[in-house]
Structure 1
Amino acid sequence: MESLNDNLQPHLNTEDEEPVAFLALTQRQRDWMMTMAYLHLEQRRPDPARVLLRLVYRAFPEDSEVQRCLALAELLAGSPGAAARAATRAFKQCEEHLRVPVGLVFAKALWEQGQQEAARDFLASLLNHERR
């Protein structure tokens, strides 16, 4: 799996990443905000979803579910750089069965940034790894 993680790093641009501030939320508040974010994503309203998800991410930065959802919301909202960063974090922490969906979000984010060759290479390495 080391090679897939290595493929993620060169494509990240952290210069425009927002500073992260601590936010205290209870688990119940997190769950409610995640439910609302899911509803917004299902309704194809990524902007309100990503606002909620960015807040939840600040309170739960190690939560891979939050990172996965944030990556998708950023991609759907037209922010492929932010989507690639969130997908990278999610990919490194997610369970094996979620690597392909997260990898697809990452590859799409690369593609939308004009890095088609990198997206193809990443997908090829991801799919080759899954076949083993």
Structure 2
Amino acid sequence: MVWVPGQKLQGDKYIIEQVLGQGGFGITYKARHTFLNNLVVIKTPNETLRYDPEYPKYVKRFIEEGRRLEKLSETQHPNIVRIRDLFHEGGIYCLVMDFVQGEVYFNLCNNGERYPVKQQSSVYIKLGKL
């Protein structure tokens, strides 16, 4: 199940605004933290994998990724997105990160332009990839 705009999570703490992307492993949502009134990104494992025998391993890796990113973001760094929350909602694990306005990394790589290595690394880390 893909969440829809207006859907509330964690007892109205977050409201889904839109789906940002969906890939083989995960779904990424733009959401609003209702109490702080700021934008966040909520990342979940792709529910289509739920019946895959390897799904428990995917979820374990997902949680470990959240924990590693949280440790990396303990001290604020301009190129590492901060982790705000990790929770379980309706049988789905959710990783909450700061929303960073910008281009989708995949689109940047496929638009035919060349970027300096330093800029490539910065963009890649901002999107939560290590």
Confirm or deny a common fold (TM above 0.5).
no
Q: Which has the higher helix share?
A: 1
Q: Which has the higher strand share?
A: 2
Structure with the bigger RCO (C-alpha within 8 Å, sep 6+) is: 1
The alignment's TM-score, normalised by the length of structure 2, stands at 0.26
The alignment's TM-score, normalised by the length of structure 1, stands at 0.26
